[in-house]
Copies of this chain bind each other. A is one copy, B any other.
Amino acid sequence: MKVGEREFRAVWWEGDGEGRVVMIDQRRLPHELVTVAARTVEEVAFLIMDMAVRGAPTIGATAAYGMVLGRDDPKRAANILGKARPTARDLFTAIEWMVKEPSRERAEAYVEGIVARCRMIGEHGAELLGRIAADRGRANVLTHCHAGALAAVDHGTALAPIHAYARGMGADGVRPLVWVDETRPRLQGAITAWELSAAGIDHKVVVDNAAGHLLSHGEADVVIVGADRIAANGDVANKVGTYGKAVLAKEHGVPFYVAAPSTTIDLSLPDGSHIEIEERGESEVLELRGRQLFGAGTHAFNPAFDVTPARFVTGYITESGVLQAEQLEPTFRPRDKLENDRTTGDT
């Protein structure tokens, strides 16, 4: 992604030999664009857990580089990194990919594979948006959480179609407008808004509560979200609040798409009931930047994700095209996926 004149990725490797993993510190956005670096596996695991990096594909890429830092004892590194966050499938996809050969080259191949997949997600999704714009004369997209370039190394997942469609603007003369859910408790919407601002894409922030009002008033033509893990049947774990949007979208006949690379798909799980939902600390809800929002004696429950059943998903925007739930398993069954990884990784 480009911010002003500078090209960024969400995470990258720096230095020869020992080296270090450098990432844009998403905890500081949108207020500051600064990086944070890790030199040990533990530091990488902590930064994933503390949400310096967010978004399943970026978490996966960060873990791939983390495995390089831990190359002297890859099983130990895999064990440490695997504890960082439980829900994002890409974390485990990356660890599995790296554990037998934790070299920098292999990590770069993994990361390039992610970037290539997300570029393809952008192209397939931009076509879809073009069809929606042709049909509706408008392309108003509601999105939840952050699923942009910072969440997916580059390009994004849910935002990749919007970036790609906006770059091709003029073909149909329709300017996309993005409704950005603020996404409590961590306000990832602020990162989405920051990224859309940098790309010059029209957007408006709404509180998470506003989706019902927007959808019932016909203000969104499509909902596109990312994913943290997709089960074999197409059930989707994504940032808490996604499911509510999916149910509302269905109620109002608004198409609901999930954009994700195959590295987020977990064919070992038959359905979403098997996906572990991370519960995070209550301070994320009760405090904001160190200030108490609630009175003493009040506690919070803070599930970080929810599961949207496949029946609410109109389609899955993947590197292999826009698929239906029943196409996920045949398209990405393990043999193909590994071959696909190698091929894409080598481009």
Given the interface pairs A194-B295, A248-B247, the reply to whether A300 lies near B206 with Cβ below 8 Å is yes
The answer to whether A301 touches B204 (Cβ under 8 A) is yes
* A193 within 8 A of partner (CB): yes
- Asked if A208 CB lies within 8 Å of chain B CBs, one says yes
User: Would B295 and A207 count as touching, CB distance under 8 A?
Assistant: no
Q: Of A11-19, A63-71, A87-95, A286-294, which stretch is located at the interface?
A: A286-294
A207 and B291 in contact (CB under 8 A), knowing A182-B184, A298-B194, A303-B213? no
| Chain B, residue nearest A284 (CB) | B207
What is the distance, in angstroms, from A186's C-beta to the closest C-beta of chain B? 9
Contact assessment for B204 and A216 in the assembled complex, using a CB-CB cutoff below 8 Å: no
Once A208-B207, A285-B182 are accepted as A-B contacts, the answer to whether A244 and B248 lie under 8 Å apart by CB is yes
Over the window 8-34 of chain A, the binary record of Cβ atoms lying under 8 Å from chain B Cβ atoms (1 yes, 0 no) is 000000000000000000000111000
**Given A190-B293, A194-B298, A294-B193, is A244 in contact with B205 using a C-beta cutoff of 8 Å?**
no
Nearest CB on B from A97, distance (A): 30
With a cutoff of 8 Å between Cβ atoms, the chain B residues found around residue A292 in the complex are 31
The answer, yes or no, to whether A86 is at the interface (CB within 8 Å) is: no
A126 at the interface (CB under 8 A from B): no
Which residues from 176 to 221 on chain A have a C-beta closer than 8 Å to any C-beta of chain B? 179-180, 182-185, 187, 189-190, 193-194, 197, 203-213, 216
CA distance A211 to B303 in the complex (A): 10
> What chain B residues lie within 8 Å of A240 (beta carbons)?
207, 209-210, 212-213
Q: Please state if A216 and B298 are interface contacts (CB–CB under 8 Å).
A: no
Decide yes or no: A216 and B243 within 8 Å by CB, A285-B182, A289-B291, A293-B190 being known contacts.
yes
Residue from B29, B203, B212 within 8 A of A306 (CB atoms): B212
With A182-B285, A216-B307, A286-B205 known as contacts, the answer to whether A210 contacts B301 (CB < 8 A) is yes
Q: Among residues 124 to 147 in chain A, which have CB atoms less than 8 Å away from a CB atom of chain B?
A: none
Q: Is A159 an interface residue (CB 8 A)?
A: no
A109 to chain B minimum Cβ distance, whole angstroms, is 34
Residues of chain B within 8 A of A244, CB atoms compared: 209, 211-212, 244, 247-248
Residues of A within 8 A of B (CB): 29-31, 179-180, 182-185, 187, 189-190, 193-194, 197, 203-213, 216, 239-244, 247-248, 251, 277, 285-286, 288-289, 291-295, 297-303, 305-307
Closest 7 CB pairs of A and B: A209-B241, A30-B295, A212-B243, A212-B244, A184-B207, A193-B298, A213-B306
